[in-house]
Structure 1
Amino acid sequence: MITHKKLPNGFEYIEVKNGVAEAKIALQGAHLFHYARVGKEPILWLSEVSDFEKGKAIRGGVPICWPWFGFNKDKALPQHGFARISMWEFVCSNELDEKTTVLTFKLTNSEKTLQIWHYKFELELRITISDKLTMELKTTNRDEKEFKITQALHTYFAVSHISDVAILGLDKKPYLNALTYKNEEQEGDITFNEEVDRVYQDVDDEIVLRDKNREIHIKNQGSSSVVVWNPWIEKTKRMSAMQENAYEYMLCIESANAFDDARAIKSQESHSLKAVIC
């Protein structure tokens, strides 16, 4: 079942329910902010004080960072690009069977985007809701000249407690420590006892988020970079739409094309970034 809904302030979203899972996707940003299997705890974390207002990014779920990840050289431009605060078109939905629902959203260039980023483009997001969550973000260059993008499916995962989790699958992978701007190499599994902000490269295998009571598996395609982030105590206090203890119950594992994994797309060609979470 697919239901179009609005909050009292007019904020629009789509609710999906099928035989095995449920989800909620905002039209602003094509932002998936809830996904849970039937009878299970949500896989995605959503801030209890997140903004659901036009022009403000939702804190949690899966923001789409595009066409740049992080800050642009022009600091006046929005962090993580404009896709996550733009209104997307809901193209179609397809209930393949009682356990599988596919939704497609589209964003294209406008006068406003061309003032910020001087290229014509078509961006399509296909979300499949089943016993696993699949997100595929396809960028097509509709301009006459090549452009380069960095991007991320900035996935916030809900965890029982940050002290009880480990991330497997990145041992021996090189990463940029964004807190020190030093290049380092991962040793063993990732655990958390301080702020972590890292961009891993040469990632070519499945990543596992091991929590006290469950494991979440993440497999990416069209990507060799992964961002791991937890803001910890002091940064959480400075951030918008986050309660002071929020860092204890979330972490981000972001399927990305970031830094050395930036992608150049020629005129009329496409690139797809895909993440499968189960």
Structure 2
Amino acid sequence: MIVHKKLANGFEYIEIKNSAAEAKIALQGAHIFHYKRADEEQILWLSEVSDFEYGKAIRGGVPICWPWFGFNENKNLPQHGFARVSMWEFIKSDESDEKSSSLIFRLTHGSQTLKMWRYKFELELHVTISDKLTMELKTTNLDCESFVLTQALHTYFKVSHISHALIKGLDKKPYLDALTWKNEIQEGDITFNQEVDRVYQEVTDEIILRDENREIHIKNSGSSSTVVWNPWIEKTLRMSAMNENAYEHMLCIESANAFDDRKVLKPQSSYTIKAVIF
């Protein structure tokens, strides 16, 4: 079942329920802010004080960072691009399987995007809600010249407590530590006892998030860079739409094309990044 809903302030989202799972997706940003398999706990983390207002990014779920990841060279432009605060068009859905629901959302260039980024484009998000959460983000260059693309599916995962969280699958991978701007090599599994902000490269294998009572698997394609982030205590206090202890119950594992994994799209060509969470 797919139902179009609005909050009291007019904020629009779509609620999806089938026999395997449920989800909620905002039209602003095509932002998945809720995903839960039947009879299981929520997989995505969502801030209790997140803004659901037009023009403000939702804190949690899966923000789409596009067409740039991080800060643009022009510091007056929004961090992580404009896709996550733009209104997307809901194109169609498919509920032919009682255990699976598929939806397509689209964003194209317009007068506002061309002020920030001079290229013409079409961006589509294909989402499948089942016992797996599948996200496919396809960029098509509709311009007459090539452009450079960096992007991320900035997934926030809910954990019982950050002290119980462990990430497997990145051992021996090189990464840029965004806190020191030094290049390092991962040794062993990732655990958390301080702020972590790293961009891993050469990632080809499945990533596993192990919590106290469950494992979550992430499989990417079209992406060889993965961002791992937890803001810890001091940064959480400085961030918008986060309670002071929010860092204890979330971490991000982001499927990305960042830094060395950036993509160059020629005119009329397309590129797709895909993440499957199960």
Q: Percent identity?
A: 76
Aligned to 1:184: 184
**1:193 alignment counterpart:** 193
Name the residue aligned to 2:261.
261
Residue of structure 2 equivalent to 1:148: 148
The one-letter amino acid of 1:211's match is: D
Alignment match, 2:209: 209
**In the TM superposition, what is the alpha-carbon distance from 1:239 to its structure 2 partner?**
0.2
Native 8 Å contact 1:67 1:82 kept in 2: yes
Q: Which whole-Å CA distance do the structure 1 matches of 2:18 and 2:146 have between them?
A: 41
1:20-169 mapped onto 2 (5 Å cutoff)? 20-169=20-169
Contact 1:233/1:245 (8 A) holds in 2: yes
Give the aligned partner of residue 247 of structure 2: 247
* TM-score normalised by the chain length of structure 2: 1.00
Task: State whether residues 229 and 252 of structure 1, in contact with CA within 8 Å, keep that contact through their aligned partners in structure 2.
Answer: yes
Counterpart AA for 1:52: F
Uncovered stretches (5+) of structure 1, i.e. residues with no partner: none
Post-superposition shift, 1:96? 2.9
Contact 1:55 1:86 in 2 (8 A): yes
- Could you tell me how far apart the structure 1 residues matched to 2:252 and 2:263 are? 22
Q: Over aligned residue pairs, what C-alpha RMSD do you find?
A: 0.3
Q: Is the 8 A contact 1:150 1:258 kept in 2?
A: yes
**Which residue is 2:10 aligned to?**
10
Q: Which contiguous aligned blocks of 4+ residues in structure 1 show a shift greater than 2 angstroms? A: none
Offset of 1:39 from its aligned partner?
1.1
Counterpart of 2:265, as a letter, is: I
Shift in Å at residue 110 of structure 1? 0.1
TM-score of the pair, normalised by structure 1: 1.00
